[in-house]
């Protein structure tokens, strides 16, 4: 078995990855990233679409405010963005789809790569490899702590490798570069824009997730469906000593809601979760609180279970508001489905991975709970329309867990990922 990724490409991916890591951009702010991804793909010969041609703006969830979008645009301008491409991604429309039309007929195969970082302050301390090697994030309180810098670099490496091997390929290959996977906010906007409506095979991938370097999992079925909700209770302030009866207390409404939310009954069909992670209420010690804001999330082993928890949660929120005579506003700022990979594709992909020299252990199926993922939007759409879909894991030794301030992955897993994905393109579309 021959490694399909040469040293040059391997080094290129490391360079890209470190540049992206140093300029971490969180959900819908991937403007600098997109402005560099797009011209490279164009230079390779891909047909490109971006922004509103591959995203429905109104289907994005949890988009930052105009002020933040504008401020970040300026930051990108001053931090190495491609100034020709940057304006195309203004306002957080940072999705890109690159298409390679081969000369042979065949199926449509799509790969998804997510590009966003997290709102975490990277650890600037000895022993943290990105810091020691000078590529820790320059963007304060933003950090690639989940490996999407690696995913984007793998996407670019795959793009290069596919084009280098174009004559061996068949059908159509699409590379989807997606914003805002964190918080499960971005996929829906691209799916609703139709980017996978013609797709026969869909593959999403993730580095790490507890799987060590040298291992590969072809089908991960453990994603929980989830909904992320921002809630605001709006009451009326009054002086708590002087006129307690004139207030409408948003803080007590929120407290009542919190207790009832955690008390939503378990579902007999499988695991469910609910969490109110953040609550901020009130303005002064002696004022009846006029405002209480909560960040909460629901999860379910299946989309149906998550729907049950979410609908109970909405009843709780509305009821709590009514109890205390306050208003409540609920925004859905993220949502993902559960999705089962397609059996045949999982088995085929496992067999393909067995051919790769990078992996010493290949597993077809994993049911490890791996949180939530909005790749499930693509998977469900593709399967609905008759295609096959899977979510695979490329093992990578980690310095610390995902979302930790000292997260780092093993860069050697990037050529492994390109190798197996390139093999999948050859194999699946030539059958």
Q: Which of residues 238-277 bind a copy of itself (CB under 8 A)?
A: 240-245, 247, 249, 251-252, 254-260, 262-263, 265-269, 271-273, 275-277
- Judged by CB under 8 A, the number of residues near a copy of itself is 66
Q: In the numeric block, which tokens belong to residue 354?
A: 């067995």
The yes or no reply on residue 369 touching a copy of itself (CB under 8 A) is yes
Which of residues 41, 86, 289, 398 is near a copy of itself by CB under 8 A?
Answer: 289
Rank residues 48 and 305 by Cβ distance to a copy of itself and give the closer one.
Answer: 305
Q: Cα 147 to chain center, whole Å?
A: 10
Cα separation, 117 vs 137, in Å, equals 10
Question: DSSP string spanning 332-399?
Answer: EEEEE---PPPHHHHHHHHHHHHT-TT-SEEEEEE-------THHHHHHHHHHTT-EEEEEEE---BS
- HSE value, Cβ hemisphere, 13 Å, CA-based, for 284: 7
The yes or no reply on residue 232 touching a copy of itself (CB under 8 A) is no
Q: Do the beta carbons of residue 391 and residue 409 sit within 8 Å?
A: no
Rank residues 109 and 145 by Cβ distance to a copy of itself and give the closer one.
Answer: 145
Alpha carbon separation from 191 to 14, 79, 196, 322, 401 (Å, rounded): 30, 31, 6, 37, 29
x-marked contacts with a copy of itself along 143-182 as a string, rule CB under 8 A: ----------------------------------------
Which of residues 190, 193, 203, 288 is near a copy of itself by CB under 8 A?
Answer: 288
Alpha carbon separation from 342 to 199, 380, 392 (Å, rounded): 14, 10, 12
Which of residues 7, 127, 285, 386 is near a copy of itself by CB under 8 A?
Answer: 285
Rank residues 26 and 388 by Cβ distance to a copy of itself and give the closer one.
Answer: 26
Give me the helices (H) in 29-147, please.
Answer: 31-44, 66-78, 129-132
Stretch that binds a copy of itself, among 20-28, 45-53, 145-153, 234-242 (CB under 8 A): 234-242
Interface residue list for a copy of itself (CB under 8 A): 183, 224, 226, 228, 240-245, 247, 249, 251-252, 254-260, 262-263, 265-269, 271-273, 275-289, 292, 295-297, 299, 308, 312, 315-316, 318-325, 369, 371-372
């Amino acid at each position: 078995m021959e490694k399909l990724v040469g040293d040059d490409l391997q080094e290129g991916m490391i360079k890209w990855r470190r540049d992206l890591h140093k300029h971490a951009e969180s959900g819908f702010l991937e403007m600098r990233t997109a402005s560099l991804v797009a011209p490279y793909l164009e230079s390779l010969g891909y047909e490109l679409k971006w922004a509103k041609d591959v995203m429905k703006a109104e289907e994005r969830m949890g988009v930052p405010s105009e002020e933040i979008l504008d401020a970040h645009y300026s930051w990108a301008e001053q931090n190495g963005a491609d100034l020709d491409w940057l304006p195309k991604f203004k306002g957080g429309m940072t999705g890109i789809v690159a298409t390679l039309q081969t000369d042979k007929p065949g199926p449509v195969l799509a790969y998804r790569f997510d590009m966003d970082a997290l709102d975490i302050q990277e650890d600037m301390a000895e022993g943290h490899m990105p810091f020691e090697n000078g590529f820790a994030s320059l963007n304060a309180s933003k950090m690639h702590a989940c490996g999407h810098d690696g995913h984007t670099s793998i996407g670019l490496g795959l793009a290069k490798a596919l084009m280098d091997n174009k004559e061996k390929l068949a059908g159509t290959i699409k590379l989807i570069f997606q914003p805002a996977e964190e918080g499960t906010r971005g996929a829906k906007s691209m799916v609703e824009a139709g980017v996978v409506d013609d797709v026969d095979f869909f593959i999403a991938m993730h580095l790490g997730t507890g799987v060590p370097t040298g291992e590969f999992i072809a089908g991960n079925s453990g994603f929980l469906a989830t909904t992320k909700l921002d809630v605001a209770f709006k009451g009326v302030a009054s002086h708590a000593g002087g006129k307690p009866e004139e207030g409408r207390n948003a803080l007590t409404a929120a407290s009542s809601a919190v207790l009832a939310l955690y008390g939503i009954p378990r579902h007999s069909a499988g695991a469910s979760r609910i969490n109110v992670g953040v609550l901020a209420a009130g303005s002064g010690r002696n004022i009846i609180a006029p405002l209480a804001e909560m960040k909460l999330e629901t999860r379910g082993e299946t989309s149906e279970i998550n729907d049950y928890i979410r609908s109970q949660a909405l009843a709780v929120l509305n009821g709590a508001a009514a109890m205390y005579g306050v208003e409540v506003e609920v925004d859905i700022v993220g949502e993902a489905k559960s999705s089962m990979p397609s059996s045949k594709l999982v088995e085929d992909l496992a067999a393909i991975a067995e051919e790769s020299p990078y992996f010493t252990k290949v597993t077809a199926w994993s049911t490890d709970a791996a949180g939530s993922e909005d790749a499930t939007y693509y998977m469900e759409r593709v399967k609905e329309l008759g295609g096959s879909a899977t979510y695979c894991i490329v093992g990578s030794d980690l310095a610390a867990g995902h979302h930790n301030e000292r997260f780092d992955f093993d860069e050697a897993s990037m050529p492994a990922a390109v190798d197996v994905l390139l093999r999948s393109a050859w194999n699946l579309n030539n059958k």
